[in-house]
Structure 1
Amino acid sequence: MRRHYTCIHQLFTPMATRLHLFILAFIAFSVNGICNAQSVAKTDTLTAIQLKPYGRYMYNQQHNLELISSAVHFGVSFTGEECAVYVSLADTNAHNYLQYELDGVYQKKLRFNGNSKAPIVISATPGKHTIWFYKATEAHTGAIIIEKVAANKVTPLSVQKLPLIEFIGNSITCGAAADASEVPCSTGSYHDQHNAYMAYGPRVARALKANFVLSSVSGIGIYRTWNMDSPSMPQVYENVDFQVAQQQKWDFNTYSPKIVSIALGTNDISRGDGVHARKPFDTAVYEAHFVKFIQLVKTKYPKAQIALLSSPMVKGESGKILENCLRSIKTKIDALYPKDKPVATFFFPPMDSHGCSGHPSVEDHAILAEQLNPFFKKLLKDQ
């Protein structure tokens, strides 16, 4: 009987072992599946439509977010060590730049290529974080397309409710040719040295706890460009991306600025490139176009304070001519709108620029912002 029992035990041992291994494998698979599910659950996703951008932007037919204007920005909060932003460009052969703040501290510019499939990944220490992304370049560089943002417990952030200043201007307002820290002057593409975050407008806004929008185009003026007769800012201001051919208009009900700062004249008074025919600067034409443009702005923002800025790059006799024009424009607008707040004017001291191609550098923009802070502080206080 003992021997019979032994034979039966030997017969069923392999079957029991196989059953045991199957059970262990099933448990391991199940546990691994649960772990993987938990890992996936830790990466949440915000679609572009859920983000809350600030500046000029639009949503395309794929419901992706197109960042258009200089320093247009959006923010998210997340928990963990990584945040991934899925970006692209309409031109796969092009490249562009974002820049970002992490937990309130500016970090750096981020270059990416239009044909890249991988997201931009921001690394952080373990914990809860806030991050704000800014477009470093201007509208004419092309839109930066945001598809989604992925991170653990990622949540969209709204811009704090603060007084808004809209800065209308040219390449100086864009922060163009200001940053040669990574790509030296006279090399690469024009937008490689853009740094909108460090331009004077955003600096003033941050210092005075205000919001900002940059409506700026390199080379543009009130009635002509730096070397050609058109386009001018009045021709493109209403178009969403400041392009002449653009049919889609910007919705001016999106924001209500307390102050509209206009710094245009550097390119109107420019002597040009020596290639295209150019007439001398016409003060009458400049003033007439400027008055009409301010009237256009007033139709968009009837309650906004208008502020006119001179150019730190225009010196000597040209600088005096430009300042006299701005004084005359102020007088004309104040007479046309006697019940509105008088137009404010600010005249920069002449500056020797240290950026590329005669533009202010990042460090120069810090000086410009310091000069402007008391001026805008008073205007905000008087609102």
Structure 2
Amino acid sequence: MQSSIKYVFILFLVISCKSIKLLEVSKINYNDKSIVFEGRIGENPKEKAKEIYWSGSSIKLNFKGTALKVVLNDENGVNYFNVILDGKPIDVLKLKKGLSTYTLAENLENKAHSIELTKRNEWTYGTTCFYGFELNGIVLAPDNTKKLFIEFYGDSITVGHGNEDYDSGQDRNDGNVTNNYNSYAAITARNLNASYACIARSGIGVTVSWFNMIMPEMYDRLNPNDAESKWDFSKKQPDIVVVNLFQNDSWILNRPKHEEFKRRFGNKKPTEKEIIAAYSNFVKSIRTHYANASIVCLLGDMDITKENSPWPNYVTKTVNDLGDKKVYTCFVPYKQTKKHPRVKDHQVMANQLTTLIKSSILVK
């Protein structure tokens, strides 16, 4: 009897050791071809890492195994990332300042899984370096390349500023209540199974911003903190570009005492013609980089689209004057509050934009 028990125990140890060997920890480097990135992602050869700046930037890995960790280095310790397991958000990761290893998932069933990290808040919170994964299991092939690619240019609405701030009664921009994954932009991309890039900053405008940079000065950057860091537009051509700007222009142009008003315009507010020209020039800049893309000029859903607002007319006139048959307008009605849209409002915007894209762009 004792020999039988001893034999079973030894057999158990052998099987367990084999299992452990199969699931030993393996390191997946930041540049492994199995990792799929979306957004404008930089590379830091010195650090041997990828650099994450922009809202909505994502890192995805398919694997078979029981646990996964990620190695990140956050500049300021104030960035937040969503953890999405098998297509479902399961956690919000608040990063520490400096280099840390974070457990993303553990005690998983040993079968095929996917993990995705998406940046919730905007680039002003600092850069995050991604060094790679530590996996108990094996790497699987990435998903098939998505057929559609959409790039967004926008302000705080596109960032998703405060879209999950339901409790404070305020309009905070912290990453625990700002979630680009639930912005109209990211929702639209998922609606269409499109890859996604988000070039946005809260407070930015076309002619003037709440700070000293406007979108025509930022849109072509890889690293938004570095004026010398330029994006290679030929690297990946979008099928659709969405421009959602002018909300901040509409406010600041009525504040002649604001320092940015004075710096940009002196004492004289720009004329309607000058406003339209600035918007037109930005759309033309997009077109010079993306000759074949469809461009959607979107406004909403804050007070820029309220009744009798002149701004939709500015956009309509721009599009008409351009005479470009692949440029469209989309105006989302004012939601009757100056607070930033919440997730439910973003869903309304995404539905309207998705419908336009399906009915007017993808059918051609």
Describe the superposition over 1:119-138 as per-residue Cα deviations: whole angstroms up to 9, x where unpaired. 23323531221112111122
2:200 is equivalent to residue 222 of structure 1: no
User: 2 CA distance for matches of 1:239 and 1:67?
Assistant: 13
CA distance in 2, matches of 1:107, 1:352: 33
Say whether 1:83 aligns with 2:68.
yes
Kindly indicate whether residue 253 of structure 2 is the aligned counterpart of residue 269 of structure 1. Answer: no
Q: 2:96 aligns with which of 113, 120, 123?
A: 113
List aligned pairs for 1:286-301, cutoff 5 A.
Answer: 286-301=275-290
In structure 2, distance between residues paired with 1:173 and 1:187: 15
The Cα offsets for residues 245-269 of structure 1, whole Å up to 9 and x where unpaired, read as 4311111122111111111100001
Classify the secondary structure of the residue corresponding to 1:252. Answer: coil
User: Which stretch of structure 1 is more off in the superposition, 45-54 or 307-316?
Assistant: 307-316
C-alpha distance 156-142 of structure 1, shift in aligned 2 (>3 A): farther
**In the alignment, structure 1 residue 255 sits paired with structure 2 residue 236:** yes
SS in 1 for 2:36: coil
Give the match's secondary structure for 1:173. helix
Task: Kindly indicate whether residue 9 of structure 2 is the aligned counterpart of residue 42 of structure 1.
Answer: no
Are 2:321 and 1:332 aligned?
yes
Following the alignment from structure 1 to structure 2, what is the Cα–Cα distance between the partners of residues 266 and 324?
Answer: 14
Question: 1:149 is matched with which residue: 116, 133, 138?
Answer: 133
Q: Deviations over 1:63-86 (max 9, x none)?
A: 201112111112112223211011
Q: Is the 1:197–1:203 contact (alpha carbons within 8 Å) kept by the matching residues of 2? A: yes
CA contact 1:70–1:136 (8 Å) conserved in 2: yes
Cα 1:81/1:319, change in 2 over 3 Å: farther
SS class of match (2:31): helix
Cα-to-partner distance string for 1:318-352 (whole Å, 9 max, x where unaligned): 76300110011102211xxxxx5342101111113
For the aligned residues, what is the CA RMSD? 2.9
- Preserved CA contact (<8 Å) 1:71 1:134: yes
With normalisation by structure 2, the TM-score equals 0.84
* SS at 1:49 equivalent: coil
Cα deviation 1:210-253 (Å, max 9, x = unaligned)? 2221111111011111x35x31100111111334x431111112
Bigger shift: 231-240 or 285-294?
285-294
- Stretches of structure 2 that go unaligned for 5 or more consecutive residues are 1-9, 262-267
CA offsets per residue over residues 145-171 of structure 1, 9 Å max, x none?
111101111346356322111111111
Aligned to 2:4: none
Decide whether the 8 Å contact of 1:74 with 1:134 is kept in 2: yes
Asked if structure 1 preserves the Cα contact closer than 8 Å seen for 2:306 and 2:333, the reply is no
Aligned partner (choices 307, 311, 314) of residue 296 of structure 2: 307
Percent identity (aligned): 24
| Conserved 8 A contact 2:171-2:340 | no
Q: Residues 348 and 80 from structure 1, CA distance in 2 versus in 1: closer, same or farther, beyond 3 angstroms?
A: same
Native 8 Å contact 1:220 1:231 kept in 2: yes
> CA distance change for structure 1 residues 66 and 316 in 2, over 3 Å: closer, same or farther?
closer
8 Å contact from structure 2 (residues 162, 173) kept in 1: no
Given that 1:170 and 1:218 are in contact with CA atoms closer than 8 Å, whether structure 2 keeps it comes out as yes
1:276 is displaced (CA, Å) by 2.6
The one of 22, 41, 54 aligned to 1:69: 54
Matched, 1:236 2:221: no
Tell me, yes or no, if the aligned pair for 1:170 and 1:219 is still in contact at 8 Å: yes
1:96-175 equivalence runs, <5 A: 96-115=79-98, 117-123=100-106, 125-126=108-109, 127-151=111-135, 152-155=137-140, 157-158=142-143, 160-175=145-160
Residue in 2 that maps onto 1:13? none
Q: What is the letter of the counterpart of residue 350 of structure 2?
A: A
1:170-181 equivalent positions in 2, closer than 5 A: 170-180=155-165
- Change in 2 beyond 3 A, CA 1:159/1:376: same
Give the distance between the partners of 1:239 and 1:63, measured in 2 at CA. 21
* Cα deviation, residue 38, structure 1: 5.0
Q: What secondary structure does 2:321 align onto? A: helix
Task: In structure 1, give the amino acid aligned to 2:205.
Answer: G
Aligned to 1:59: 43
Corresponding position of 2:7: none
Inter-CA distance 124–329: structure 2 relative to 1 (3 Å threshold): farther
Change over 3 Å in CA distance of 1:375–1:110 after alignment to 2: same
Render the CA deviation track for 1:189-215: whole Å, top value 9, x for unaligned. 644422010000111121122222111
Output the CA distance in 1 between the equivalents of 2:78 and 2:291.
39
Q: Extract unaligned runs of 5+ from structure 1.
A: 1-27, 335-339
Residue pair 2:319, 2:328 contacting (<8 A) in 1 also? yes
Question: Is 2:358 the counterpart of 1:374?
Answer: no
Aligned-partner Cα distance in 2 for 1:316–1:298:
25
Paired residue total: 339
